[in-house]
Amino acid sequence: MSTSRTKATGSVRNEVKYRGQTSFLELIHGKVYDVVSIEKGWYCIVDDSGEDCLYPPDEFAVIEGDDGTVHVSD
């Protein structure tokens, strides 16, 4: 069985900050989440319910820190 899941390592950013509205037991506005994998262009994230779910990347800002600094890019 083939899978389209790509592990979020190497050049793929693995921390993102949620920019949408807070949704009870799902995602909190402004919270940083780890991207577990990327499936068909969507982020697989363990949300606040404890389940891994797919979310569209346009709802997140990528946390960048290749040079040792951490900032949020929109």
Q: What is the pLDDT along the chain (74 residues), one digit of tens a residue?
A: 334 444 554 445 589 999 999 988 899 999 999 999 999 999 999 999 999 999 999 999 998 755 544 444 44
Q: Return the CATH architecture of domain 5-64.
A: Roll (2.30)
Check residue 12 and give its pLDDT. 52
Structure letter (DSSP) for residue 24: T
Where exactly are the structural domains of the chain?
5-64
Token code pair at residue 28: 């909190």
pLDDT at 48: 94
* Prediction pTM value: 0.69
pLDDT confidence of residue 2? 39
